[in-house]
């Protein structure tokens, strides 16, 4: 019989669950950002090819496509997993304090 002080969960599973608690739905969000980024980039490529081919493209449409590419690239970059660069007992921002 296991005592109450022993943890019945595998340490790797426990770490994964704790990470999911800190950043819920991260995998799904990243998949969404990648899909939307690819769609915006493909639309921009098609617009550029139309311009090269001599067709007219509305400037507002180009601005929307460039904005979408930039926005989804930013969201994908912002939603990345934080790297543990800090040493034991330190937070990521503890080494970057401003000095007088």
* Number of folded domains that form the chain: 1
In a domain, 20, yes or no: no
Q: Please tell me the distance from the alpha carbon of residue 81 to that of residue 94, in angstroms, as a whole number.
A: 19
Provide the pLDDT for residue 20: 79
Domain of 34 in residue numbering reads as 25-78
In a domain, 58, yes or no: yes
Q: Please tell me the distance from the alpha carbon of residue 72 to that of residue 63, in angstroms, as a whole number.
A: 14
In a domain, 48, yes or no: yes
Q: Please tell me the distance from the alpha carbon of residue 4 to that of residue 20, in angstroms, as a whole number.
A: 24
Do residues 68 and 43 lie in contact, with contact meaning Cβ atoms separated by under 8 Å? yes
Provide the pLDDT for residue 17: 84
Intervals of the chain under pLDDT 50: 85-90, 94-96, 99-100
Do residues 51 and 90 lie in contact, with contact meaning Cβ atoms separated by under 8 Å? no
In a domain, 89, yes or no: no
Structure tokens at 12: 């790797």
- Tell me the whole-structure pTM to 2 decimals: 0.63
Q: What is the pLDDT of residues 43-63, one digit of tens each?
A: 999 999 999 999 999 999 999
In a domain, 50, yes or no: yes
In a domain, 1, yes or no: no
Q: Please tell me the distance from the alpha carbon of residue 75 to that of residue 63, in angstroms, as a whole number.
A: 18
């Amino acid at each position: 019989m296991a005592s109450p002080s022993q943890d019945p969960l595998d340490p790797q599973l426990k770490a994964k669950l704790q990470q999911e608690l800190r950043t819920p739905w991260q995998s799904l969000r990243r998949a969404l950002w990648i899909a939307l980024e690819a769609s915006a980039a493909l639309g921009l490529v098609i617009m550029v090819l139309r311009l090269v081919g001599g067709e007219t493209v509305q400037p507002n449409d180009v601005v929307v496509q460039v904005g979408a590419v930039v926005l989804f690239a930013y969201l994908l970059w912002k939603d990345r997993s934080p790297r543990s660069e800090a040493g034991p007992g330190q937070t990521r921002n503890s080494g970057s304090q401003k000095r007088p």
